[in-house]
Structure 1
Amino acid sequence: MNALKAEIVELIRQEGPIGIGRYMALALGHPRHGYYMTRDPFGQEGDFTTAPEISQMFGELIGLWAAHLWQAMGTPSRLRLIELGPGRGTLMADMLRATRIVPGFREAVSVHLVETNPVLRERQAAALKGIDPVWHDNVGDALSGPVIVVANEFLDALPLDQFVMTPEGWRARLVGLDADGGLAFGLAAAREETLHIAGPAGATFEQPSLALDIVRQIASHVAAEGGAALFIDYGSARSGFGDTLQAMKRHGFVDPLAEPGEADLTVHVDFERMGQAALKAGAALHGPASQRDFLLALGLAQRAQALSLKAAPDQQAAISAAFDRLTEEGETGMGDLFKVFALSHPGLPPLPGFDLHRLPEQG
């Protein structure tokens, strides 16, 4: 039993079973043993690989998307370019490199990163050497004035609570102890009186309160101060029921309770509810679109072709493989599983990627 699991077991012995959200928060963000506080989880040597690590094309297109938006905003002289959960800094580095072709953009933006992992902050500093990014521990501290926010695989890592429909009504799903003293899932003894939604017997309802709060906060800010936010994550375009909690270690799925702090815990994003929250906060909503449709609308195929013209045969094969992976169709393919939605100031025109608007091609 690792140190964090022993600590959680003792906590449950002292206080009783804990909610799924609290368990996720401890497993991911415990100050000494939390998954996101102690390691670099990305790449072949880590537990999972994200789109920016698959190909530079992903970040380049997102960068040009941001620069086009800055132009649509009237080229403000000061703009915060904010990334939530910036990983190794790969996405931001690719974004900034691509935007060198846009006059005035680099001079107008200051880079702000919302990151709590000290290991990843060091990686980000190295990737963005000479940029002088500003780090923040939370989203609220990063928001000031006109902003463009980018969040790739950020919402999926935020803790949420789960409820199960029983004959007595909704009951909270908890983490407690089994007969052998190990961690086990169970249900609260009392029904949940605050949920007033209908659901079939046995259904699991997920309540992503933290994610909704962050989307509302950003939507309210861009509606008042100007700008937009782009969210890319995996999940469903329509709300529904289901237990989407999963754990990943070494690129494979594992038991979410087996090794807290040693495996990544994620949930699927409910894009419909996120969009509703953004609209209620006063922002305009764009999407969701599939990652495949979004990237192709931005010119991914043309960018891959341009890179291949200058590449050696082995590099051409790598570019083709990256293109296929980013746009792969099917229920488990990144191109369909991952969705993209944006929220913006209501006065802005339709955003690239959602209205089939292509970005200018790079050299």
Structure 2
Amino acid sequence: MTNSHPIRLDHFIAAANAAYYGRKNPFADFITAPEISQMFGELIAIWVIMVIRSMPNGTKITLAEAGPGQGTLMADMLRVIRQASPDIYQNCSVIFVETSERLRQKQKEALADHTDLSISWYNTIEAIPSQPMILIANEFLDALPIRQFVKISSNEWAEHYVDQEQLVQKPVEHLPDAPIFQRPIKKGDIVEVCEVGQEIIKNLANRIYKDGGAALFIDYGYASAVWGDTLQAIAGGEKVSPFVSPGEADLTAHIDFLALKEIVMATGAQAYGIQTQGEFLKQLGLMVRAKILSARATEIEQKQISQAVHRLIDPSEMGDLFKVMAITSSDLPIPPAFELKREENNEC
């Protein structure tokens, strides 16, 4: 991918990631929580079961996943749901939101044991047929393109463009509609806006408000009114320049969860969180599950389980960096692992 003139940052990211996911194996460059341990998917399955149990009996459910990677998370979830709640399993239809044909094939292979279920693929969340839905999205939002704005003066802004493998600034007259611009911003501050992500969350929240159901988003990001340049690129497990050799690295940015929560609440749907991944998994019973697995494991397997727990919940690893937010229809109770008082959740 080459460009002979400045290209707006979000357009650059979109093109670079489309090239990357279209022809590279992203799991050679990074590892996600479902690939670290089966316990992650098992606990998410318990969350799904408990949410569905809080819905009217017999409700036919679309169990959807956005950004499903190799299908590991859904495979682990379905294994637990089939074993623990066969009635829910039989009432589910599975949908993957995935644009990569190569990854779709891997997802088909991962779910080869579930031919008794209806399994479909869509390019967007919006395309999913209308009915009550539980949607899981782990490390989905972070790959969506962002725009970056720099405050030059009290009423003057510039926007970042990519030109000749570096960022340049161009004046901008109109700022996008985003909650972050309502926060106190100082001269020289960099503000990131993910318009695509905000639109996805708004549409999804409106759908959940109308059709019923819930969504769970797990991603790295922040839950306070902070900003700055969070764009990064990973290739071969190492951080590299986002602007050199586009399409060869995975480009991501941290999620402004506070903005997304504000957008959800404006639709009439309910938003819960923002939890850290560590607290979320501990409340769902990670330590108990690890103890059960370790009881029948070899010494080597016990060490692997311990290492997986550390990576998933320790503040120095994924525990604090990754945040969790839930969206539910207004008729559902507070979902599992979000039972703290809502004012406490708002302060997380």
Q: Matched residue of 1:134: which SS? A: strand
Aligned to 1:335: 319
Higher mean alpha-carbon deviation, 297-306 vs 281-290, is at 281-290
Aligned to 2:3: 9
- Contact kept, 8 Å, 1:39 with 1:120, in 2: the verdict is no
Specify which of 10, 24, 31 is matched with residue 21 of structure 1: 10
Matched, 1:125 2:112: no
Specify which of 13, 17, 22 is matched with residue 37 of structure 1: 22
Specify which of 213, 222, 228 is matched with residue 199 of structure 2: 213
Specify which of 284, 301, 320 is matched with residue 306 of structure 2: 320
**Separation in 1 of the partners of 2:196 and 2:288?**
38
Deviation of residue 194 (structure 1)?
3.0
Specify which of 334, 342, 345 is matched with residue 350 of structure 1: 334
Question: Where do residues 87-236 of structure 1 align in structure 2 (5 Å cutoff)?
Answer: 87-99=69-81, 100-129=83-112, 130-131=114-115, 132-167=118-153, 169-176=156-163, 182-188=164-170, 190-194=171-175, 198-236=184-222
Matched, 1:257 2:238: no
Cα displacement string for residues 38-67 of structure 1 (whole angstroms, at most 9, x for unaligned residues):
12211xxx0000000000000001011111
Aligned to 2:281: 295
Cα displacement string for residues 114-149 of structure 1 (whole angstroms, at most 9, x for unaligned residues):
001111111100000134520001111125200000
AA aligned to 1:339 is K
C-alpha change, 1:107 and 1:216, in structure 2 (3 Å) is same
Q: Matched residue of 1:294: which SS? A: helix
Deviation of residue 193 (structure 1)?
3.2
Specify which of 61, 66, 71 is matched with residue 43 of structure 2: 61
**Separation in 2 of the partners of 1:345 and 1:227?**
6
Deviation of residue 75 (structure 1)?
3.2
Question: Where do residues 240-251 of structure 1 align in structure 2 (5 Å cutoff)?
Answer: 240-251=226-237
**Separation in 2 of the partners of 1:143 and 1:234?**
29
Higher mean alpha-carbon deviation, 198-207 vs 309-318, is at 198-207
- Contact kept, 8 Å, 1:239 with 1:271, in 2: the verdict is no
**Separation in 2 of the partners of 1:78 and 1:139?**
18
AA aligned to 1:40 is N
- Contact kept, 8 Å, 1:19 with 1:174, in 2: the verdict is yes
Specify which of 251, 254, 268 is matched with residue 282 of structure 1: 268
Cα displacement string for residues 179-204 of structure 1 (whole angstroms, at most 9, x for unaligned residues):
xxx3221001x343336655212111
- Contact kept, 8 Å, 1:143 with 1:221, in 2: the verdict is no
Higher mean alpha-carbon deviation, 302-311 vs 237-246, is at 237-246
Equivalent residue pairs, number: 331
**Separation in 1 of the partners of 2:207 and 2:216?**
14
**Separation in 1 of the partners of 2:227 and 2:281?**
29
**Separation in 2 of the partners of 1:300 and 1:116?**
32
Aligned to 2:61: 79
Cα displacement string for residues 204-236 of structure 1 (whole angstroms, at most 9, x for unaligned residues):
111111000001111111111110000000010
C-alpha change, 1:191 and 1:116, in structure 2 (3 Å) is closer
Aligned to 1:359: none
Q: Calculate the TM-score normalised by the size of structure 2.
A: 0.92
- Contact kept, 8 Å, 1:39 with 1:119, in 2: the verdict is no
Deviation of residue 274 (structure 1)?
0.6
The alignment-based identity, stated in percent, is 41
Q: Matched residue of 1:60: which SS? A: helix
Unaligned runs of 5+ in 1: 177-181, 357-363
